[in-house]
Amino acid sequence: MKINNDTIIKDDDPRIREKSVDVPVPLNEEDRQLMEDMLTYVKNSTIEEIAEKENLKPAVGISAIQVAVPKKLVAVVLRDEEGNIEREYALANPKVLSSSIEKAYIGSGEGCLSVPEDHEGYVPRSRRIKVRAYDCLKDEEVTFRVSDYPAIVLQHEFDHLKGILYYDHIQKDDPFRKPEGAFCIE
């Protein structure tokens, strides 16, 4: 599947609110191809010349539901300040096993490929999470812990699997109210 800004469904499409279903693992050929296409989108979306040529919006992650496939598949690519890939995740059937009481949020707010309009405000999330998933890059079940920015990115993508968008977490009456005791990630 060729993924670009035209094939990503937006928040005015009711399918974005669908709950995703587990996929059989190891992945079948169709799901494996979708995962590869999702990873390719995220990797290429931050390379300016490719992004412009292929109509890609910059991203750190994407979930299958964002291309109207309600399956529990998530691709995330985290880069360092020089643009080198630090970590990449290709996860099937992710589940948060535990999360910290301590909250964190991104000071500049969150964005989303499926949300074309800005929704300003803080999005409080757990600062640390423990995850179990099928790692499609290793072809095995894994359990791992992440904190701070990687934890926020993964929680954002996992929310998509439940039909939740980031702005659902923003306080409606005071969008920039700092969550008490939360860690701000700049």
CATH number of the domain bearing residue 104: 3.90.45.10
In a domain, 9, yes or no: no
Residue 179's pLDDT band, with cuts at 50, 70 and 90, is confident
Average pLDDT rounded to a whole number, residues 10-36: 98
Q: pTM for the full model?
A: 0.96
> Which runs of consecutive H residues, i.e. helices, occur in 88-141?
none
Q: Read off the pLDDT of residues 129-146 as tens digits, 9 standing for 90 and up.
A: 999 999 999 999 999 999
- SS3 call for 132: strand
The verdict on residue 5 lying in a domain is: no
49 given a catalytic annotation: no
Structural domain harbouring 42: 14-185
Which is catalytic among the residues 30, 102, 117, 157?
Answer: 157
The answer to whether residues 90 and 31 touch, using CB atoms and an 8 Å cutoff, is no
- Tell me the pLDDT tens digit for each residue of 77-90: 999 999 999 999 99
| Overall domain count for the chain | 1
Asked whether residue 3 is assigned to any structural domain, the reply reads no
